[in-house]
Structure 1
């Protein structure tokens, strides 16, 4: 995704939170998720817009660190659920796992690669002042919370 596309994505009302990462500047954010490995139609529907949603989340979180000539942030999602893949999909089984890469051709010291996994089971959030389990939320809300948490975790780990 080019910087112009990144800026356009930011102009469509993505909210920005304080930047949690260090001073690495990014010119590209790329998220891939190979959904063809998912056999359950319900799970495919749950994850169908993951690439765009996670990319938009990352762009919003990194909005103060976007430049024309910077590092690339590449996220390759390869895991989408915990447990037995032969049982029907449920929100409680939703998880995201993959590799995160920071690639900076201008500064090899900015190279970083790590694995990151999050799952909905055990996640809680505050809603109207009360703690609730994310797995008890509506599927769309649980999905949004997991994608947001994954994006925040990626940005937290970037050096």
Structure 2
């Protein structure tokens, strides 16, 4: 994954620009669950047990929080894979994150049991982020590709997924 070191740098610069230039959407909560049960052999959570917490924090960093009447973002990660395989190698590397994002209306309460209403689904969409390698890439003379560390690659994938989630939110 030699290309990703350069991509990670560009990605972090892109995210900083995104956060600074865009009006941050207001939500009441962000909930992320890594539910990889569709793939019995998936071992991603053995390598990355805090994936759901890390993704939730990354998404939350691009949002403003308001009261319970604001929309709630729910992310269900359903697949973590390396080149399509849900069994990650001993290094824990992956290049594919896939899930379903749902935006629910805020839960309105009037302090009685009867006053609770189920939140309406305002928006729902699948989201997949896949990293590509830079193999076979022609670099200018004097340029070198440096492979990222396992943590750098993980951080770049989580940050890219979070950025795409927030970019697709549409509940004005």
| Cα distance change on mapping 1:40 and 1:33 into 2, 3 Å | closer
Tell me the distance in 1 between the aligned counterparts of 2:122 and 2:145. 38
Offset of residue 131 of structure 1: 8.7
Tell me the distance in 1 between the aligned counterparts of 2:132 and 2:144. 14
More strand by share: 1
Offset of residue 48 of structure 1: 1.4
Q: How many residues align?
A: 133
Q: Which residue of 2 aligns with 1:104?
A: 105
- Give the structure, 1 or 2, with the largest relative contact order (CA under 8 Å, sep 6 or more): 2
| Cα distance change on mapping 1:122 and 1:20 into 2, 3 Å | farther
Q: Which residue of 1 aligns with 2:60?
A: 59
Compute the TM-score of the two structures, normalised by the length of structure 2: 0.62
| Cα distance change on mapping 1:66 and 1:89 into 2, 3 Å | same
8 Å CA contact 2:79–2:99 kept in 1: the answer is yes
Q: Which moved more, 1:32-41 or 1:68-77?
A: 32-41
The one of 115, 139, 150 equivalent to 2:150 is: 139
Give SS of 1:97's match.
Answer: strand
Compute the TM-score of the two structures, normalised by the length of structure 1: 0.67
8 Å CA contact 2:93–2:150 kept in 1: the answer is no
Tell me the distance in 1 between the aligned counterparts of 2:159 and 2:78. 17
Larger Rg: 2
State the Cα deviation string for residues 134-157 of structure 1 (Å, max 9, x = none). Answer: xx3111110000000000000001
Tell me the distance in 1 between the aligned counterparts of 2:158 and 2:80. 11
More helix by share: 1
Q: Which runs of 5+ in 1 are unaligned?
A: 1-14, 124-129
Q: What is the RMSD computed on CA atoms of the aligned residues? A: 3.5
Q: Which residue of 2 aligns with 1:119?
A: 130
Q: Which runs of 5+ in 2 are unaligned?
A: 1-15, 108-118, 135-142
